[in-house]
Copies of this chain bind each other. A is one copy, B any other.
Amino acid sequence: MKKILLCELNMSEGTDEEIIAQATEALRGTPGVTVMDIDSDRDHNRSVFTWIGEPEDVLAGAMNLTKVAVERIDMAVHKGSHPRQGVVDVAPFVPVRGVEKEEALEIARRYGKFLGSLGVPVFYYEDAATKPERQNLVDIRKGQYEALSEKMKDEFWRPDEGPFAFNAKSGATVTGVRFPLIAFNVNLRTNDLKVGQEIAKRMRFSSGGLRYCRGIALPLEEKGMVQVSMNLTNYEKTPIPVVFELVKALADSYGVGIAETELVGPVPLEALREVVRHTLRVREFSMEQVIETHLLD
């Protein structure tokens, strides 16, 4: 069975068609790389490249794309509405299938060293973080590119790779390893935001809920509904159907039904297996039974 690693590289250029095309070409030209999605946003002035493949190929793709980004993009003149601090702003590596965390960490570190060799300061985050204050992207990126020159004078911000010095052209990059994140939204048959907020509070880890669940409530004005919008950060330990059952039970306790749900963005096949096992009560169900998986070997 082939191993599958995913990389989701956020590049700080979303308007210059030529640079985006050159970066795309560098990525697509890498043997063994399957590009899943390229999403450029002009307002954010940012492009998100998502690709998969065997770990070594995924790393090669990241390096090829990064060479173009570092050469062509200048952070000193970059403007965009999305928070950012480097030409390659953030590049998580995500184990999808058959890749152990340790192997993904090694790939992320080799990518970090590569960026360092190009003169770009690198911070490791999530599962690759070297201290607790570097686990969250938001903490590392606080103040964005504009704060970097000051931060590079503070020992606390000594980078994990690359020079301990401000790189005006390339900024700094955050890379590391995280588990596949599943975005799961549940739309409730109510317009009472407080019900949604109570449910989100019970669901999320930070206020006593499920270990790998984050959640907030949002009003959906047009639908006249309230949405409990969740991120599941470990679908093996906090599976989708368990989350669904708990939301359903909590909604029921408020006399509210679930109108519909949304699975947003990519989902590993393994996460669906748990849905089938739980909801149909199939105690034994092997992914080998899914005909298409035989073509992945």
Contacts and interface: CB of A to CB of B under 8 A. Distances in A.
Contacts of A36: 291, 294
Interface string A250-290: 00000000111111011111001001100111111100011
Q: Classify the interface of chain A: helix, strand, loop or mixed.
A: mixed
Nearest to A96: B291
A52 interface: yes
A154 interface: no
Interface string A14-53: 0000000000000000000010100000000000000010
Contact of A291 (B4, B241, B261): B4
Contact of A292 (B258, B269, B276, B283): B269
Report the copy number of this chain in the oligomer: 2
A289 B262 contact: no
Interface in A210-258: 240-241, 244, 258
A295 B296 contact: yes
A290 to B, nearest CB: 5
Contact of A280 (B4, B240, B284): B240
Contact of A260 (B97, B240, B283): B283
A297 interface: yes
Given A263-B289, A272-B272, 5 more contacts: A6-B291, A34-B295, A97-B291, A258-B281, A269-B292
